Structure 1
């Protein structure tokens, strides 16, 4: 590829070039100038695809090295910010604007793209640890287990910090500022506040109930666990990028750079804690209230709703109003009827992963991304599959979510219950066995997992694995 960049029509024919996990994505002024067949015959090139206004050169796992090669050899200047795509602007002008949720998923996909590798690695390590625990090879309270768990879980625990970095690159803010803002959400001292009794509760007994752990300048501080969430960090960095840009234009040029950083970190850091916290807490309470109302009305309907949307709730950090109910139910009644409604989701994701592996032509992509995501999902670590495989494929994602909903409906219909807390994901089925023996609830739970697995497998096989990815990292030709 080093000697063949001219085969896309030369430097003057390239508007910009980006990359994802396996592909170089060119926007060419005139695709007819590219020598596609010669490029396909080039050593190291797996395929050339022309789709969606992009000239895509599939090169596999070496894409980043080739990308860096293009920066130096092709005369490109790497831009720290992701620039707007001119072709996308034309599409918007023609009325091809996507719905807000689809656009949001597209932004999330772009932001997650740079961290998929470390998610796969961390998920694989966590999967191996889960295996050792199930097999009894390593005690959960051993120092070895705790160290390895920290290594595997680090990226997930500090996800808001990592997302702060990638979001900053997307929105045009300095990455280190994004990291600082994301890091506030998982700062140990603030996280520790959630482990003690709150000072008082606002709106007790209503959906607006919020536990106040402290205050900032007299403003109530409502905290929740932000670990593994992405939306709060993305929103904070997006606001910070807008605010910082405004400050740079409003402040005197002599002190703008210095003061803009201070004011942005101070204002947006506080705003993130006093606004994002209360808003997500209230939304979590609303979601929990709706789900409990559905369970009381008809468990099967509740199973379909919560099973379908559970992964989205987790992604938006809105599941925290529900999880405490699991522990409360088990402690109070000896069982919980809510958790079984989301069990089939892990099985559906496993089925989708297998279908994507089968339908993907690139062996390199399977080895680098798809197979590790499958292994992680089998052991209950769904983030690599969700962020790396499903979000870039909206049709496959929704097929998987609906399959999970069908499984959830079956679990609700059979009255499945959680009796203890054990392994996560498909391997966690022993936690649903009634201490008195196998009952119809457990049978229904097993059936729900099998049905969700088969439905997702078949649906994704039929739908296909076409991606709707964002641009990734962009090079602009000067």
Structure 2
């Protein structure tokens, strides 16, 4: 009965039960075939709380409601007395990459509001510290930082819940699996050495603090990570399915979760998590090699694919190098190669804000823009770009072009400070403005303009809204 009022209004504004020939659904939309499209009140439907947009295409009247469409559809069928039809498999012709990105989007969809709110709080805190309104030792700062950072730190728990919904197992299973990854005693065992040494054979001398049934357990640390928990819950969904099929009904309620945890958690800690994090450490070595060959080419590649690395949580293999390089050499040449990414994302989001007619989309895009300005890019990535893949790839390429300019000009990071555009002074040489700084600024401006132009051309519609 959760969506009863919404469904009653939808039936009313599509022209009533008698105007409906049939109705089915895809990933995010209710798809009506109406006797007379003229009887549908499109403007009234768009104003409903719970309706994201109306699409008329392909002989269908489509009501976009979001990823909870199955629940809305079930309620709609019950209230309208319509015949249930098989859902439309809208992603059958999509590439594996597109299907994977759709899966990521569906997993993050329930988190977008809180993700944007947390990003805003973190962004405001950075502004307060920069303005000397508070320090990071103040009690107010500590409490506000906990509010803003909790979601990001405990991401495995939150994504465990949403991944469980996506893979259709009990949400408490996903929550528990995520909690294991950030359990205090597991966090305390976090290995300090790079995991890429796993492939050299030296990992077992440096990083193993515990074993499970005499099998070494490498604990790289999973706070704020994305891919390990998603893969873990996916594995749990397969185990859960097998157990539900083979176990007698009388013992399922206990033994399915019992055996799922006992099977999947060791696999996650021994195989899934360490391999995923080892990939990020290998990536760090690749980035160092690329810069050694040519900073401009490295900028093109790293600038283009940096947000992809963030999406998969692999960027943590590169970030520690910023601090090490500044400490050892007095400057870092990697960080300037990702500076244009924030500017490109800001351009894309501004374009979406200008072009969209949806208040709900603006409610996601505006906080995402502010967060990106202060260096917190996840709300933009998951809430704005991934649902619009053409714009997403155009934004990434725009960032790569700006990063290549920064790389060829020899841009360097000299001091740590704010992330995003506010961190621009950190790239100033002790000797003043040089060609590296000019190249960084020019590249960032070009990235911003390119992404904004593409967003204005493509418009604000999400992929599932384009018939």
TM-score (norm 2): 0.86
Q: How far apart, CA to CA, are the structure 2 residues paired with 1:116 and 1:180?
A: 21
Give the unaligned 5+ runs of structure 1. Answer: 78-82, 471-478
Counterpart contact for 2:157–2:179, Cα < 8 Å: yes
Question: Aligned pair in 2 of structure 1 residues 212, 451: CA closer, same or farther (>3 Å)?
Answer: farther
Residue correspondence of structure 1 range 4-19 to structure 2 within 5 A? 5-8=11-14, 10=17, 15=23
Deviations for 1:251-304, whole angstroms, at most 9, x for unmatched residues? 233212311111111211111111122212332233223222221111100001
With CA pairs under 8 Å and 6+ residues apart, which has the higher RCO, 1 or 2?
Answer: 1
Q: Does the residue aligned with 1:173 lie in a helix, a strand or coil?
A: coil
Displacement of 1:395: 0.4
CA contact (8 A) 1:209 1:282 kept: no
2:60 and 2:266 mapped to 1: Cα distance? 41
SS in 2 for 1:434: coil
Partner of 2:343: 347
Matched, 1:136 2:148: no
1:293 corresponds in structure 2 to 289
Q: Deviations over 1:174-207 (max 9, x none)?
A: 0110111122222232223227679996445999
Aligned to 2:87: 86
Post-superposition Cα deviations, 1:217-273, rounded to whole Å, max 9, x if no partner, equal 222222234333322211111110111110111123321231111111121111111
Write the mapping of 1:36-47 to structure 2, written as runs, cut at 5 A: 37-41=40-44, 44-45=47-48
* Residues 159, 229 of structure 1: 8 Å contact kept: yes
3-state SS in 1 of match to 2:241: helix
Greater displacement, 408-417 / 192-201:
192-201
Equivalence map 1:233-244=2 (5 Å):
233-244=229-240
Mapped pair 1:50 → 2:53 = no
Which one of 100, 104, 114 corresponds to residue 104 of structure 1? 100
Q: Mean Cα displacement is larger for which, 36-45 or 434-443?
A: 36-45
For the 8 Å contact 1:420–1:432, the answer to whether it is kept is yes
Supply the distance in 1 between the matched residues of 2:293 and 2:196 (Cα, whole angstroms). 32
TM-score normalised to structure 1 length: 0.84
Distance 1:467 1:342 in 2: 26
Corresponding residue to 2:402 among 403, 407, 418: 407
Q: Distance in 2 between matches of 1:315 and 1:84?
A: 35
Matched, 1:433 2:428: yes
Separation in 1 of the partners of 2:414 and 2:62? 51
Q: Deviations over 1:447-472 (max 9, x none)?
A: 222121111111221222221249xx
Against the structure 1 CA distance between its residues 338 and 85, is the aligned structure 2 distance closer, same or farther, given a 3 Å change threshold? farther
- The 8 Å contact of residues 117 and 369 in structure 1, kept in 2 or not, is answered as yes
For 1:443, the equivalent position in structure 2 comes to: 438
State the partner residue of 1:245: 241
Give the match's secondary structure for 1:319. Answer: helix
Aligned partner of 2:275 among 279, 286, 297: 279
Rounded to whole Å, the distance in 2 between the matches of 1:214 and 1:357 is 50
- Equivalent residue, structure 2, for 1:175: 171
> Superposition pairs for residues 300-379 of structure 1, below 5 Å?
300-366=296-362, 368-379=363-374
CA distance in 2: counterparts of 1:55 and 1:135, whole angstroms: 52
C-alpha separation between the residues in 2 aligned to 1:434 and 1:126? 28
In the alignment, which of 454, 457, 464 is matched to residue 459 of structure 2? 464
Could you tell me how far apart the structure 1 residues matched to 2:180 and 2:295 are? 39
Deviates more, 1:389-398 or 1:185-194: 185-194
CA shift in 2, pair 1:431/1:50, >3 Å: same
Shift of 1:323: 1.8
TM-superposed CA distance for 1:154, in Å, is: 1.3
C-alpha distance in 2 between matches for 1:248 and 1:409: 53
How big is each residue's C-alpha offset from its partner over 1:141-165, in whole Å with a ceiling of 9 and x where there is no partner?
2111011011011112111111111
| Aligned mates of 2:45, 2:367 — CA distance in 1 | 29
1:193 pairs with 2:199: no
Listed one character per residue, the Cα deviations across residues 402-441 of structure 1 (whole Å, up to 9, x for unaligned) are 1111111111111111122111112111221222322222
**CA separation of 1:403/1:64 partners in 2, compared to 1, >3 Å: closer, same or farther?**
closer
Q: CA deviation at 1:66?
A: 12
Q: Give CA deviations for 1:43-92 in whole Å, capped at 9, x if unaligned.
A: 93586322478744369xxx999999987787369xxxxx9963117x73
Structure-2 change in CA distance of 1:325 and 1:65 (3 Å): closer
Change (3 A) 1:41 1:331: closer
Aligned partners of 1:201 and 1:209 also within 8 Å? no
Q: Distance in 1 between matches of 2:68 and 2:277?
A: 43
* 1:123 has 2:119 as partner: yes
2:3 equivalent in structure 1: none
Q: SS of 2:55's equivalent?
A: strand
